A and B are shown apart, each in its own frame.
Chain A
Amino acid sequence: MKPPAFDFLRPDTVAEVLDTLARHGGAAVLLGGGQSLVPMLNMRLSRPAVLIDTLRLTQTAVIEDRGDTIRVGMGVRQAQLEHWPALPRRLPLLARAIPWIGHVQTRARGTVCGSVAHADPSAELPLCLLALGGHVHLRSRRKTRDLPADQFFAGMMSTARAEDEMIEAVSFPAAPPGTGHAFREVARRHGDFAIAAVAGIVGPAGATLAIAGVDDIPRRFALPAPGDSALDDALDGIAWTLNARDDLHASARYRRELVRRLGRAVLEEAAACRI
């Protein structure tokens, strides 16, 4: 349970990070808060030749309200976003979801962009980014590009990020007036990996449901609004569409039932708290 040997780099600038990635490619791994990567190092599931420490690039720890979107820089820790005073008003879904991420002790170091980069299928932040239709901003020495969340998550802990790219920031669309947001999760213990996590958004244009922990990546669906008699059938269809599997924590059947019940509950809650 100790990390394998690696070279450790402590860049002072983003340019140095990008140079290092360009030089080492897939042999280099970016270290953010380390709350997912260090366990993988300890269990030897990850064996990078070079580790690049990005947590001390405090110039990237910036939350920027750009009107339509909130841009969260690479160095922003989960606790920093959790305590951002405008969060409940500008990103009410995240205000509800962040307390479910790990524990106070892990949110103190874990970063928002690091969680998106890690792309755990049960993670809350990738789920919220997808649910809201957010973007991932990638930068390499060659170029920058912006990917919508639904094109970024490619599979279980696998993303569209190229080996020489880093996530410079992620953008969450700010909550428009007239929308309601809700989040629920079932896990064996608060802070454990979600057996199922669901985010619901209800606005004038209809309802959106996003689900993590069931399929290999978070998935998003448009749905009839609560009160529509077609909702239950639609939720049942989603439950069967997702590639739910049996594992140590829950059966596929139990996960499908969580999708139906939590799905209905978050949409009803979101509809009730429209502002």
Chain B
Amino acid sequence: MPYLSRDTAHPIRFRLNGREVTVQAEARMLLSDLLRHELGLTGTHVGCEHGVCGACTVQIDGRPARACLTLAAQAEGADIRTVEDLAPEPGRLSILQDAFRRHHGLQCGFCTPGILMSLDALLRERPDAEEPDIRDWLSGHLCRCTGYATIVAAAVAAAAELRAGTGAEQGS
């Protein structure tokens, strides 16, 4: 049985944004800190560190989940996707990201990566998602700048655009 002792770092292997990675981590390290400190992916933000604010939300095996409530060691063998993977190519935004820009869905941007990862999963899992579904999934996130009206408007617009098929090749 794999045994990760407390006094040293251990190799953790998983899939990150489509490529296999192996990285050293202590048993007590959080996935949020592994992503930011060891892998340099600072798009995943850290707010409350007890699962309330949603800023650190990433996709684990396709489902949105809190990176701050996941130990790095639990990522072994998992498929992790972070906000860095949303844009189809450098200099080009995804449909969802572009809708946030057009609808002023962010101001300071601190909560945005987590919200994008939840909504990206929602629109992939349920392309027919409507405003009540979007609000339900957003209930796991806190934004203290814009309020939620523009965020909801951006998500509704992105859902419509994706359904219309213009986003078929880009994903959400």
CB distance from B148 to the nearest CB of A (A): 12
Task: Indicate if the CB atoms of A34 and B64 lie closer than 8 Å.
Answer: no
Q: Whole-angstrom distance between the alpha carbons of A41 and B33 in the complex?
A: 15
- Chain A residues with Cβ below 8 Å from B139 are 103, 189-191
Q: Which residues of chain A have C-beta atoms less than 8 A from B13's C-beta?
A: none
The residue in chain B whose Cβ has the minimal distance to the Cβ of A3 is B28
Which chain B residue has the least Cβ–Cβ distance from A53?
B74
A275 interface residue, CB < 8 Å from B?
no
Chain B interface, number of residues (Cβ within 8 angstroms) = 36
Task: Judge if B57 is at the interface, Cβ distance under 8 Å.
Answer: yes
In the complex, the answer to whether A39 meets B51 with C-beta atoms within 8 Å is yes
Q: Count A-side interface residues using an 8 Å CB cutoff.
A: 38
**Which of B57, B64, B74, B137 has the most A CB atoms < 10 Å from its CB?**
B74
User: Which of A39, A56, A104 is within 8 Å of B50, CB to CB?
Assistant: A39
- Given A1-B49, A39-B69, answer yes or no on A105-B64 (Cβ-Cβ < 8 Å): yes
Number of A-B contacts (CB under 8 A): 118
Q: With an 8 A cutoff between CB atoms, is A162 at the interface?
A: no
Chain A residues 1-59 with CB under 8 Å of chain B are 1-12, 16, 20, 31, 34-35, 38-39, 41-43, 51, 53, 55-56
Within 8 A of B (CB), among A204-229: none
Which chain B positions have C-beta within 8 A of A4? Answer: 28
Determine whether B70 belongs to the interface, using a CB cutoff of 8 Å to chain A: yes
Q: B140 contacts A191, CB within 8 Å?
A: yes
Q: Chain B, 60-72, contact with A by CB distance < 8 Å: what is the 0/1 string?
A: 1001111011110
Known: A1-B50, A16-B1. A7 touches B27 (CB 8 A): yes
Q: Cβ of B2 < 8 Å from any Cβ of A?
A: yes
- Please report whether the interface of chain A is mostly helix, strand, loop or mixed according to DSSP: loop
Q: Which of B24-79 contact A (CB under 8 A)?
A: 26-28, 30, 33, 49-51, 54, 57, 60, 63-66, 68-71, 73-74, 76-77
Whether A7 contacts B3 by the Cβ 8 Å rule is yes
Task: Looking at the assembled complex, report how far the CB atom of A186 sits from the nearest CB atom of chain B, in whole angstroms.
Answer: 15
B contact residues around A106 at 8 Å (CB): 51, 65-66, 69, 140
A103 to B64, CA, bound (A): 10
Alpha-carbon distance A10/B136, docked complex (angstroms): 34
- Contact in complex: A7, B4 (CB < 8 Å): yes
Beta-carbon contact of A53 and B73 below 8 Å: yes
**CB-defined contacts of A10 to chain B, threshold 8 Å:** 1-4, 73, 76
29 pairs, A vs B, C-beta closer than 8 Å: A1-B50, A2-B28, A2-B33, A4-B28, A5-B26, A6-B27, A8-B4, A8-B6, A10-B3, A10-B4, A34-B70, A34-B71, A35-B66, A38-B69, A38-B70, A39-B69, A41-B28, A42-B30, A42-B49, A42-B68, A51-B27, A104-B64, A104-B118, A104-B122, A105-B64, A106-B51, A106-B65, A189-B139, A191-B140
The 4 closest A-B pairs by CB, nearest first: A103-B140, A8-B27, A39-B50, A108-B63
Measured CB to CB, the residues of B under 8 A from A are 1-7, 26-28, 30, 33, 49-51, 54, 57, 60, 63-66, 68-71, 73-74, 76-77, 118, 122, 136-137, 139-140
